[in-house]
Amino acid sequence: MNFGSLAIKAVVVILLLFLLSLANAITFPNLAAVANNAGTGLTSILLFLAAILVLSIVGSLLGRGIRSLKKPFEVLILAFIGSFFLGGALALFEVLNVPNAIHVNLNWVGTNWYSPLLALLFIGAPLMLVFMIGD
């Protein structure tokens, strides 16, 4: 696994997550509130970057596996499933109570029974696009 390519994709993922936070789909952790102590602030930023790096590794492995397929219909279905899993991974960080992780707004699309599933899909689709293109 090429770490340089993975780091560039992680930066693009952070930018996409920032754009999604502007649309109120996710909320970033409040890093300024815990930055009173220099050690605590540095630790919180490192934990945030570690969570993004884990998400980038999962997305890169999913993208590499999907790009290895030859049938277009299988690629399309697995791309949708992969984007749902990337959105679910962000929600899993919140459920597992990972410190300084990104919080997903599951009611971003609405309050119907299918809204959390669509929110995970709409959050994960641009992230999956990052990992499907390139390399």
- The one-letter amino acid at 7: A
Q: What is the pLDDT of residue 39?
A: 61
Q: Does residue 126 carry a pLDDT above 70?
A: yes
Distance CA 84, CA 11 (A): 21
pLDDT in tens, 53-74: 888 888 888 888 888 888 889 8
In the chain, where are the structural domains located?
3-132
pLDDT in tens, 2-47: 888 888 888 898 899 889 888 988 888 765 555 556 566 677 778 7
pLDDT in tens, 45-55: 787 888 888 88
> For residue 40, what are the CA distances in angstroms to 13, 14, 22, 27?
24, 21, 26, 20
